[in-house]
Structure 1
Amino acid sequence: MPQFTSRSGELGELLRSRRERLRPADVGLPAGARRRTRGLRREEVAQLAAISSTYYTYLEQGRDVRPSRQVLDALSAALRLDAAERRHIHGLVHGAPAETPALAEVLPPALVSLVDRLDPCPAYVTGRCWDVLVSNRAARALWTDWPARPPEARNLLWWMFTDPGARQVMVDWPAEASALLGRFRTAAARHPGDPGFGALLERLHAVSPEVREWWPQHRVTPLSSGTKRLRHPALGEIELEHVVLRLADDPERKLVTFTAPDQVQARISRLL
């Protein structure tokens, strides 16, 4: 069954996947003849990062070695990692130690009240594993009726990958789903001792071919604000701007709020 590997194993898998996606021309190396290896060779990455080939091999094999921040920066440059991927590998090696399992997530009444008062602007709060902890009427009308779902299904990833309605609601479903899975991986690396992440990943692997295909790609995605396009039976396709706010007393709880142009917002109000 799928599970989260050790931090060293996770680092090794990520390095290998990023090495295999690069071509020699991407890093200024000649292709050469009789190249049987997909992507770069290990010794080529080691050369670019100015480390020994043996040491790099140990890293890819997931051995219990702890590269310095300077080595990680050199590998990031050699493998053309983006900013989120750089932060991720630093967190895997030099992040916080394993923690005790987190307690059940209970929101303060003031936050619940705030989400309700944001109507007709859609808003919801997600927890560390993207459980939807509270949502207002507008969010329930545009996404799904979260309180009506079984407790184990009140999760944004579970809805995204298992509910056919998600593919109707999210106009850009492949991009949205892939990014959400990348954010989940990024958060999981911060909580190696939390069994909730592993349990959800196992459930998703069992039912979603996309998760089984995308998880080995090791995409890591930071939280970000931006634009989402939704499809609604009564409203048609609408575009919303969203902002993600992390709570000061628990940064893993995320308040997501949405706004729309005045005409669209008025239609959402009439819908409610």
Structure 2
Amino acid sequence: MTETTQTAQNGRRKRTELAAFLRSRRERVTPADVGMPPGPRRRTPGLRREEVAQLAGVGVTWYTWLEQGRPINVSVQVLDAVARSLRLDEAEWAHLYRLAEVPDPGVAGLCVDLPEDMQGILDGLSPKPASVVNGRSDVLAWNDAYAAVFPQLVQAPDGCRNSLWAAFTLPDCCNPLGNMETEAALHVAVFRYRYSSHLNEPRWRDLVRRLSEASPRFAQLWATQDVALPGPRIKVFQSPAAGEIKTRTTSFDATADHDMRMVVYTPADEDSAKRIDWLLHNPQEAAGAICHQVAGRACDRA
């Protein structure tokens, strides 16, 4: 494949994603939300294309072509008007910029190696579990407390330590996430926010494909086109050996590449701190409690 052909193919992928995203956001906004009369009977509850065009101050044909994913020129001003009309939040706004290939200063830069002192920093944070992950949710480095709480991940083969894969594919007996019912949608929405910067990268597309094939829940949530900004929140983990562990997560940029970040898990209560401490001092029992299924399912490569 020539470079020209590859560039054209990458452009088509982004336009396809842009079209799906715009349709999903338009269908979410009702006329009442933007102060418009309901009008005649609608096939869908959301806005019509001509209504979005009217709100954004653009031509109906131009907006239709944009939503159809046609290769048209898009200015910052016009894209902002469309974003306001569709009532996009900050994460969705940035996502729209990436898909439309409009320069956005918030987009992450180059991927670089971890600093040589990173492991020492991680070790110094123990007994708080801490790891370094990339935007794709690959776990790149960790301390002993993290290994004690997440033996499912650190025992996976090199190149297969991915927390998103673990969350959506591991059986209940050894799935580290204890609140998937409430967290699954947010996990996928945050991942889509990062994914929009990497649409042309085969490893990212391959992960989405494999997750969609392996997890009906992921496939369903991915199809919603929802996007959310990453941020600190309460995460509940389930250790087969120690029980429920509640933590507050805090992330820090680990390098100049904003996709590479250190995640620190602070116990949210005294019981959780005691359970982490027990796991830290009983690593063999912690590791021995995980299912035998983990090794085979840690990374279902295609």
- Name the TM-score class by shorter chain: 0.7 to 0.9
CA contact (8 A) 2:115 2:255 kept: no
Measured against aligned partners, the alpha-carbon deviations of 1:79-105 in whole angstroms (never above 9, x if no partner) come to 1111110111122224569xxxx9997
Once residues 11 and 183 of structure 2 are traced to their aligned partners in structure 1, the CA distance between those partners, rounded to angstroms, is: 22
Aligned mate of 2:205, from 171, 174, 198: 198
In structure 1, the residue matched to 2:272 is 264
The answer to whether the 8 Å contact 1:161/1:204 transfers is: yes
Q: In the superposition, relative to structure 1, how do residues 40 and 149 fare at CA in structure 2: closer, same or farther (>3 Å)?
A: same
Aligned counterpart, 1:88: 95
Superposition CA RMSD, Å: 2.7
Mapped to 1, the partners of 2:184 and 2:143 lie a distance apart of 22
Deviation at 1:8, TM superposition (A): 2.2
Following superposition, the deviation at residue 173 of structure 1 comes to: 0.7
The answer on whether the counterparts of 2:76 and 2:102 sit within 8 Å (CA) in structure 1 is no
Query: Structure 2: which amino acid aligns with 1:41?
Result: R
Q: Is the 8 A contact 2:97 2:103 kept in 1?
A: no
Matches of 2:11 and 2:119, distance apart in 1: 32
Conserved? CA contact 1:42–1:57, under 8 Å:
yes
1:216–1:192 Cα change, 3 Å: same
8 Å CA contact 1:166, 1:173 repeated in 2: no
- Residues 66 and 93 in structure 1, CA contact (< 8 A), matched pair in contact too: no
Report the secondary structure of 1:39's partner residue. coil
AA paired with 1:116? D
Match of 2:294 in 1: none
CA distance in 1 between counterparts of 2:73 and 2:111 reads 33
Q: Which runs of 5+ in 1 are unaligned?
A: none
Q: Give the deviation of 1:26 after TM superposition.
A: 1.9
What fraction of aligned residue pairs are identical, expressed as a percent?
38
Deviation (angstroms), 1:240: 1.1
Instruction: Name the structure 2 match of 1:180.
Output: 187
Counterpart check, 1:54 vs 2:47: no
1:70 aligned onto 2:109: no
The alpha-carbon deviation at position 6 of structure 1 amounts to: 2.2
Could you tell me the TM-score, scaled by structure 1's length?
0.86
Instruction: After superposing the two structures, state which structure 1 stretch, 105-114 or 16-25, moved more.
Output: 105-114
TM-score by length of 2: 0.78
Q: In the alignment, which residue of structure 1 is the partner of 2:135? A: 128
1:117 aligns with 2:119: no
Contact persistence 2:130–2:262 (CA under 8 A)? yes
Q: Spell out, residue by residue over 1:179-202, the C-alpha distance to the aligned partner (whole angstroms, 9 max, x if none).
A: 222222222222233211011111
DSSP 3-state at the match of 1:252: coil
Gaps of 5+ in 2: 1-9, 281-302
* Alignment equivalent of 1:209, drawn from 193, 207, 216: 216
3-state SS of paired residue (2:117): helix
SS in 1 for 2:66: helix
Q: Are 1:254 and 2:261 counterparts?
A: yes
Partner SS for 2:151: coil
Indicate the residue corresponding to 1:229 in structure 2: 236
Cα pair distance change 1:147/1:236, threshold 3 Å: closer
Amino acid at match of 2:17: E
Given that 1:125 and 1:132 are in contact with CA atoms closer than 8 Å, whether structure 2 keeps it comes out as yes
Tell me the residue number matched to 1:163: 170
